Structure 1
């Protein structure tokens, strides 16, 4: 934990006083550092003066004080301090080394080898700060035959197996409809960074954290790996079906669809009672979970029953009838999600500022009773905190600062 923080704005939360150098862009990395910022860390976002984080140009846009501003950028960069550094210049690299010497964590998501070519890899920076936790997020990791390949989220979904098992049964596979490779890598990087912080506080030593998007996606494939390693089953798209649990999936109702998951014997009994057919509980063809799991029995007997229960009711009616007792939930549109009173009560939508404009974005699912997560905060303008960080915290004198500006270092 830093002792020299008087010149830096500090966050509130369990990570207050932890300083993070954020050298990431897009989502796989910025989301990790934003979670650390939400938990109270002071995050310094480094951007190239010639090529800022290009999601600043991603839609949707709001009208800010200086023109259009990206709400997408705001969603993944709240609380951060913005600093511009040209790391292709020796002056920029020197300033970064000085920042690293005073920081606790550095997070980067360049292709493996890029940081080493600039003399900013972990082994080179470690002597500057033996306590440094150096988090590297990449498509395929820092080691292995594919390490230096370029990658996007889709690369991870494709090579991690998730793409191949997603989609409608009997049709071509579909990518998962969100950047799950980027997001899952950010989650694992955050967990690993915090584990390294715990170790660093005990030992006084940092370490490198290596998180790959492909690795992260592999862990999201649920049953698929063990199905193959144990029984030789190669997973394929199943649509809204589960490979063996039934009834457990999407069912049509009057105004859309619901998820119905009353597959255990207890929940099945409750469902039969709630929907006015208690005699089905003792029907010897479908009276046990094992029998209902049988594909033929499910298709011939169970599925028509559940379809009948749902077809004549709306999502709201089904939720009101059964939602408190069995797993029956509406499949909500994003508009319905944003207006969900339960999510509102849990403060899952917050106002974030970007260039003076308010953006409603998702909040944090982390709920801590004594040191609550802080989600109210703005995303930085490009280079907004150069003076605060470089002059105030790092101690760059006025003449050098102006020279760096003139030379395009910052």
Structure 2
């Protein structure tokens, strides 16, 4: 493992998933990430254990996901003692990472100027729902709302006949993408500081991330005045080789064979219908596009007559790009996931075994150092000791409620 962020300290004053994911990625890359949590409540995400979303005594996977490898310090930054300690930590850090909204940062006196007053060289990174400006700058939001619904993604993926917009594919879908982007921005800002000496602010938002993800569709809407991006059922797909098909046993495969004239004859022959290659309805790409419903029906019948295993054998023997439509549980045993170390086996603070996906980048072919998330305030004594506080002073602060 190559700790490319070794020697970098990140001070994180953030909660939930979107911005903390950035800290978790930097920790996985070798940074010392200190997560500041309120002494009593901690990160609200920890409360999911008692909400029923995480079984009591089980692995708190939504805490582990964004908080991997960090050190947790219980600190009440509303108190003068707690804020003083925060500023002392900021003075020794390379990055200040937060998702507190502008009004909250001003009230707590942890905005850019406040932190730069004790450390002019610190990278100040902010993540929000709607950006730092505009009428909704002080409004919170989640990825299912701001990233998914507001960006046009929900509308675009929802079939008209469904009658309602679908939710995003899973918990934290937009959060983890946005967090990766912030981690990349911080990395670039650190490089810029090394080269020029200038400390930057880094801003990201769920809205900007959603718009970026939908960039091609937004550009098409602007260019052509398209009110709604076309969507279609598999039976109506304009290109039969860029489509999904059901197998006999209820599984699905996805084809993305863009060079249709190259792959159509090979595929239909492999599926036992070579005559479809010379059928005038399907003789070339233009003919298949014109007779798309018939082409879709022919392939649907061929795939539907075979089991998923049989279809997999046929497609694996060919050259055309395709993929099985997998459930998340299937991904755990995907041979490519295993071969490339895209899953890590870990144990949480209670010794419970679990699996976690590491950050999707490797350096010199090695994944980062994926470690468990810290317990609430697990490293308070350790970190404050590094600031020079002795145990008597730490106990005094604990009695006062300033630290955990």
- The answer on 1:292 being equivalent to 2:284 is no
Residue among 209, 212, 233 paired with 1:216: 209
Q: CA deviation at 1:165?
A: 1.2
Residue among 169, 174, 177 paired with 1:177: 169
Whole-angstrom distance in 1 between the partners of 2:65 and 2:224: 43
Residue among 243, 261, 270 paired with 1:249: 243
Residue among 149, 159, 171 paired with 1:158: 149
Q: Deviations over 1:97-119 (max 9, x none)?
A: 11111111121112232112111
Q: CA deviation at 1:152?
A: 1.4
Residues 244 and 118 of structure 1, relative CA distance in 2, 3 Å threshold: farther
Q: CA deviation at 1:120?
A: 0.4
Q: Which residue of 2 aligns with 1:186?
A: 179
- The answer on 1:259 being equivalent to 2:251 is no
* Contact 2:237-2:296 within 8 A present in 1 as well: no
Q: Deviations over 1:128-183 (max 9, x none)?
A: 21221111110001112321122112221222111221222333221222233322
Show structure 1 runs of 5+ residues with no match: 1-10
Is 283-292 or 97-106 further displaced after alignment?
283-292
Residues 215 and 355 of structure 1, relative CA distance in 2, 3 Å threshold: same
Q: Which residue of 2 aligns with 1:356?
A: 350
Q: Deviations over 1:271-327 (max 9, x none)?
A: 233223334334443333344344xx211x210121022111122221221135222
Residues 202 and 244 of structure 1, relative CA distance in 2, 3 Å threshold: farther
Whole-angstrom distance in 1 between the partners of 2:361 and 2:106: 35
Whole-angstrom distance in 1 between the partners of 2:284 and 2:88: 66
Q: CA deviation at 1:367?
A: 2.1
- The answer on 1:270 being equivalent to 2:266 is yes
Scaled by the length of structure 2, the TM-score of the pair is: 0.90
Q: Deviations over 1:21-65 (max 9, x none)?
A: 1222211012111111111111111101122112223243473xx
Q: Which residue of 1 aligns with 2:12?
A: 22
* Contact 2:178-2:204 within 8 A present in 1 as well: yes
* Contact 2:248-2:305 within 8 A present in 1 as well: yes
Show structure 2 runs of 5+ residues with no match: none
Residue among 40, 50, 53 paired with 2:40: 50
Q: Which residue of 2 aligns with 1:385?
A: 379
Tell me how many residue pairs correspond in the alignment.
391
Residues 292 and 127 of structure 1, relative CA distance in 2, 3 Å threshold: farther
Whole-angstrom distance in 1 between the partners of 2:111 and 2:238: 47
SS of alignment partner, residue 213 of structure 2: coil
Q: Which residue of 2 aligns with 1:88?
A: 78
- The answer on 1:305 being equivalent to 2:298 is yes
* Contact 1:31-1:183 within 8 A present in 2 as well: yes
Q: Which residue of 1 aligns with 2:126?
A: 136
- The answer on 1:366 being equivalent to 2:358 is no
Residue among 288, 295, 308 paired with 1:315: 308
* Contact 1:22-1:106 within 8 A present in 2 as well: yes
- The answer on 1:328 being equivalent to 2:316 is no
Residues 140 and 290 of structure 1, relative CA distance in 2, 3 Å threshold: farther
Whole-angstrom distance in 1 between the partners of 2:230 and 2:101: 31
Whole-angstrom distance in 1 between the partners of 2:238 and 2:30: 43
Whole-angstrom distance in 2 between the partners of 1:348 and 1:155: 29
